[in-house]
């Protein structure tokens, strides 16, 4: 079980220190942690993310780790352009037969992206991006990330410093950020020892950001080999400091020693570190595998014919549809094995690798006439982070991840709604006893001003009103919506100011992405807010009412008659979200990127009287 490691202390201090460390874990030093367990979401394919009634109670000692890449950094040549494999092959299909085709840009250095991330061709020193990652991974229930330090002795220090600083603040702001660890080279090589010593001396020995360390079996976890540590005092200290879980690189052979963990395997995956009761510590789950029958399932080029892409399963082969890569068959089959073995920890590959080198056969890779090894195209990629190339379907793997994590870890039961109450609009203090209290993250309206990869530069100043909470109340005639921000609200005539979206029937097939009504899309008129109903499932709305609202400092409330929402005489069972300053009207992916959205992305708060009913 992951736990905090405490030093020897005076026994008289134990009660105090117990409270202190509990407070540290619960983040009492900053905002109360936000939980996404009670949020609902439906993806672009119509697949609803499971909720408590389907996931069941929280399961003790179940963890999910994510492989994470901090290598998007460096002083890139700004005269170079980003090279996107998917775009190149779409425009120049003949380039796949010619290593020297001009489309590959051999006159320019650099790796190739298989697709553009939703947040752009970013660097992992960009704190705006790192904050987005912290929230998205926390919302998915990810407990730890493992940085890829498997190449040489590079630990990507510039990036991990930026990440630690950003995630430390995010934790203070209420984000249940994943804890951090590293995966070192696959073997007891000199490079591995260099990385191990560097990380220990820079981060662990001085106790920097201890609140972000991932502990396993009582000590900080590292996926590295201790075998070539010497008998020097420093190396003996390192040997006793960590829980070592050396990485097994192979996709087929399984563990060769009982302390290893895997990172990616073909189905059916092995279990790693077998315990006394026959259960395993760890099982890998991958989105796809750069392996093929030609290499008997071992690591190969991803552009090999028949490689195990996103649409592939061992049971049923490939989905023959052109968009078969969207449905996550490979990912789901891998999760099915994880549920069968039921380990303590599932290691998911991965979040944000995105880039690949182009190699000739002489480089020992198997592609013809050249190899893209780790990433290639829409079918052949292991990344879960949402991307731009798939349009409104760019987050389907992210939503699938959330669904499976909820199934594996279980969920906290939802809070019941408080009794009916009439709210006098303008009397903000009347909301004090209304439940649930829907919390959201403070501090996520920071602006972006950072160089991307190569010739890319990104600015985003859309963060404005920092939405930190919401509530709903009802009586026989009306439904009342309340939200508050971290600081005083901007003027009500601001662009796309404090919009409320309501899914009144919890059915994605009705309305725009399920939202049947939108409130305040049109700026308020006097003391009235405009309510509109969706027309034809597109971003088209027609006005149906003007109703009361009030704003006071950092608080905003709307009154909406039940009959306007077609909820007269019915139990309230709705989903809703608040958004401020969206930029691309009609693009649901904008909810991940611009302004502030509570909750983020496709998530919605759920307000349901049905939860009060006895089952």
Which residue is it, tokens 């996404």? 36
Which pLDDT score is estimated for 363? 64
Give the closest residue to 263 by CA, choosing from 202, 349, 333, 367.
349
Q: Tell me the C-alpha distance between 524 and 547, whole Å.
A: 10
CB-CB neighbours of 22 under 10 Å = 11
Which pLDDT score is estimated for 418? 97
pTM: 0.93
3.20.20, 1.20.120, 3.40.190, 1.10.10: CATH of 58-382: 3.20.20
Phi and psi at residue 158, in whole multiples of 5°? -60, -40
Token representation of residue 494: 């601001």
Domain limits, the chain = 58-382, 428-612
The answer to whether the CB of 398 falls within 8 A of the CB of 405 is: no
Q: Tell me the C-alpha distance between 97 and 303, whole Å.
A: 12
Phi and psi at residue 448, in whole multiples of 5°? -110, 135
Q: What is the DSSP letter of 40?
A: B
Q: Running along the chain, 615 residues long, what does each successive block of 10 average in pLDDT?
A: 33 36 39 89 97 95 98 81 94 95 85 96 97 98 98 95 98 97 94 96 98 98 97 97 97 96 98 93 98 93 94 97 98 98 97 93 76 95 98 98 98 95 97 97 97 94 98 98 98 95 96 98 94 96 97 98 96 98 97 98 97 66
Residue 203 has, within 13 A of its CA and on its CB side, a CA count of: 28
Which pLDDT score is estimated for 524? 93
Which pLDDT score is estimated for 75? 67
């Amino acid at each position: 079980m992951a736990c905090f490691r405490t030093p020897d202390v005076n026994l008289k201090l134990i009660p105090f220190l117990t409270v202190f460390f509990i407070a540290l874990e619960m983040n009492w030093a900053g905002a109360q942690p936000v939980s996404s367990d009670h949020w609902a979401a439906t993806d672009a394919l119509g697949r609803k993310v499971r909720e408590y009634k389907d996931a069941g109670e929280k399961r003790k000692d179940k963890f999910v780790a994510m492989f994470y890449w901090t290598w998007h950094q460096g002083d890139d040549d700004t005269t170079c352009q980003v090279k996107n494999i998917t775009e190149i092959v779409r425009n120049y299909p003949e380039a796949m037969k010619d290593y020297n085709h001009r489309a590959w840009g051999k006159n320019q250095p650099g790796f190739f992206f298989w697709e553009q991330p939703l947040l752009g061709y970013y660097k992992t020193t960009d704190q705006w991006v790192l904050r987005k990652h912290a929230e998205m991974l926390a919302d998915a229930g990810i407990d730890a990330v493992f940085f890829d330090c498997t190449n040489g002795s590079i630990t990507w220090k510039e990036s991990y410093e930026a990440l630690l600083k950003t995630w430390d603040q995010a934790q203070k702001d209420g984000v249940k950020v994943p804890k951090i660890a590293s995966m070192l080279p696959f073997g007891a090589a000199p490079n591995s020892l260099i990385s191990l010593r560097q990380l220990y001396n820079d981060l662990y020995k001085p106790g920097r950001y201890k609140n972000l360390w991932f502990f396993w079996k009582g000590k900080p976890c590292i996926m590295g080999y201790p075998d070539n540590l010497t008998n020097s005092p420093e190396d003996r200290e390192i040997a006793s400091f960590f829980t070592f879980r050396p990485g097994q690189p192979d996709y087929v052979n399984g563990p060769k020693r009982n302390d290893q963990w895997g990172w990616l395997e073909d189905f059916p995956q092995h279990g790693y570190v077998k315990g006394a009761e026959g259960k395993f510590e760890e099982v890998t789950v991958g989105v796809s595998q750069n392996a093929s029958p030609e290499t008997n399932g071992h690591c190969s080029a991803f552009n090999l014919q028949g490689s195990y892409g996103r649409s592939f399963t061992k049971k049923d082969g490939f989905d023959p549809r052109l968009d078969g890569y969207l449905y996550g068959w490979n990912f789901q089959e891998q999760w099915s094995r994880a549920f069968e073995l039921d380990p303590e920890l599932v290691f998911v590959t991965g979040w944000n690798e995105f880039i690949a080198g182009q190699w000739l056969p002489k480089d020992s890779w198997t592609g013809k006439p050249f190899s893209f090894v780790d990433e290639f195209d829409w079918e052949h990629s292991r990344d879960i982070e949402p991307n731009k190339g798939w349009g409104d379907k760019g987050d389907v793997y992210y939503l699938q991840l959330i669904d499976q994590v909820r199934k594996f870890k279980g969920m906290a039961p939802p809070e019941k709604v408080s009794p009916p109450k009439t709210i006098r609009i303008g009397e903000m203090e009347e909301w004090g006893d209304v439940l649930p209290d829907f919390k959201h993250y403070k501090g996520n309206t920071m602006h972006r001003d950072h160089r991307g990869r190569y010739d890319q530069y990104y600015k985003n100043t859309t963060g404005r009103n920092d939405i930190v909470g919401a509530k709903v109340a009802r009586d026989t005639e009306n439904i009342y919506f309340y939200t508050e921000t971290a600081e005083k609200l901007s003027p009500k005539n601001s662009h796309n100011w404090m919009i409320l979206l309501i899914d009144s029937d919890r059915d994605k097939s009705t309305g725009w992405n399920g939202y049947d009504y939108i409130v305040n899309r049109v700026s308020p008129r006097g003391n009235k807010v405009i309510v509109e109903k969706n027309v034809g499932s597109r971003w088209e709305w027609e006005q149906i009412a003007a109703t009361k609202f009030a704003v006071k400092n950092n608080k905003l409330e709307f009154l909406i008659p039940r009959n306007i929402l077609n909820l007269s005489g019915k139990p309230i069972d709705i989903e809703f979200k608040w958004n401020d300053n969206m930029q691309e009207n009609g693009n649901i992916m904008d909810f991940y990127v611009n302004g502030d959205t509570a909750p983020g992305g496709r998530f919605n708060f759920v307000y349901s009287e049905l939860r009060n009913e006895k089952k």
